[in-house]
Amino acid sequence: MKQKIENLRLETEAAIAGAESGRALYEAKMKFQASLKEVMSGMKDLAKEERPAFGKIVNEFKQTMESAFEERAIVVRQKEMEEKYRSEQIDVTMPGKRVVSGALHPITVVKNELIDVFAGMGFKVFEGPEIETDYYNFTALNTPKDHPARDMQDTFYLAENLLLRTQTSAGQVRVMESGKPPIKILSPGRVFRSDDDATHSPMFHQMEGLVVDKGITLCDLQGMLAEFARKMFTSSTKVRLRPSYFPFTEPSVEVDLSCSECGGKGCRLCKGTGWIEVLGAGMVNRRVLENCGVDPDVYTGFAFGMGIERIAMLKYGVNNIKTLFENDVRFLKQFKD
């Protein structure tokens, strides 16, 4: 019996010393416990009086071995931790991988700025559909079929009465039809015309404005445009109204801003005039108010419409509209804050 215990001690001590991982140590312990159980089962073959002494020996042996396991476990755990730290070590001084972040497109930047400027004056945003009926895009805006003003805009028709809107003005009608004055809306969006050169693109963006209430006059329009010019360009930018014609406004005006490049002295950008044309506007034609169910003897209003690309081109000195649609990263990068 004693020999058996001695053998088990030698064998287990060797196993403990050789265990390099928690797993190996655990397996050695399982094996030891099984062997010990076997040794203890031999106790029944001993004489009765020998048993207590032998039991004591076995108990002591068991305790000694258990503390040997415990001690080894501390060492192995420490070793494993060190190994883990070593393998997971990182060099915090190493330069990181650069993440290239994107930026808003200049059209979006200008659109957001415009919304910001007009929201400050109490305008709410309304977005109409890009596919419109002939009625909303033209007829309700006092431009019935065969009206010569239809030639001002080369239209993409999808069906006889369905088209890609040529102007965000179409939204004016939808707004007036669905709500009562006072109305103060801003309507940004894509518009489409069969037009293509350095300053025109078949798809471009417009920003429409509409104000309808009692007692609105051309002075209100002028004051609001002055504020827009100062905020969007420089605090010294001036506004000039010239008579013009649009079927949906009466009177109609073309709005010029003093040239931001030369300050009004005359340069290449303003073709020597000191002024740059930026938008169309006017007092809403009473016929349009009538078409939308608004009483023109009670209410008056003004409207304006501008090309967002045109504003962006003026603001950033871009001379070909195509560069705004090509999405060449070298061009777009220049607009990153």
Contact positions toward ligand DAH, by CB under 6 A?
167, 169, 208, 246, 249, 280-282, 303-305
Query: Which residue, 5 or 175, has its beta carbon nearer to ligand DAH?
Result: 175
- For residues 314 and 260, is the Cβ–Cβ distance under 8 A? yes
Straight-line distance from the first to the last Cα atom of the chain, in angstroms, rounded to the nearest whole number:
86
Count of residues in the chain? 337
Distance, in Å, from the CA atom of 324 to the CA atom of 120, rounded to the nearest integer, reads 27
DSSP string over 177-238: HHSPSSEEEEEEEEEE-S--BTTB-SEEEEEEEEEEETT--HHHHHHHHHHHHHHHS-TT--
Start-end of H helices in the chain: 2-18, 22-41, 51-87, 106-119, 134-137, 170-178, 218-232, 286-291, 308-316, 323-326, 329-332
Shortest distance, position 98 Cβ to ligand DAH, whole Å = 44
Shortest distance, position 208 Cβ to ligand DAH, whole Å = 5
Query: Which residue, 29 or 310, has its beta carbon nearer to ligand DAH?
Result: 310
Shortest distance, position 202 Cβ to ligand DAH, whole Å = 14
Q: What is the DSSP letter of 132?
A: E
- CA 266, 268, 269, 272 dihedral sign is positive
Query: Which residue, 170 or 324, has its beta carbon nearer to ligand DAH?
Result: 170
Query: Which residue, 20 or 177, has its beta carbon nearer to ligand DAH?
Result: 177
Shortest distance, position 281 Cβ to ligand DAH, whole Å = 5
Distance, in Å, from the CA atom of 259 to the CA atom of 224, rounded to the nearest integer, reads 19
- For residues 322 and 198, is the Cβ–Cβ distance under 8 A? yes
Shortest distance, position 334 Cβ to ligand DAH, whole Å = 29
Distance, in Å, from the CA atom of 54 to the CA atom of 33, rounded to the nearest integer, reads 17
Shortest distance, position 315 Cβ to ligand DAH, whole Å = 19
Q: Which residue is nearest to ligand DAH (CB)?
A: 305
Query: Which residue, 259 or 303, has its beta carbon nearer to ligand DAH?
Result: 303
Shortest distance, position 189 Cβ to ligand DAH, whole Å = 12
Q: How far is CA 248 from CA 56, 204, 221, in A?
A: 112, 21, 16
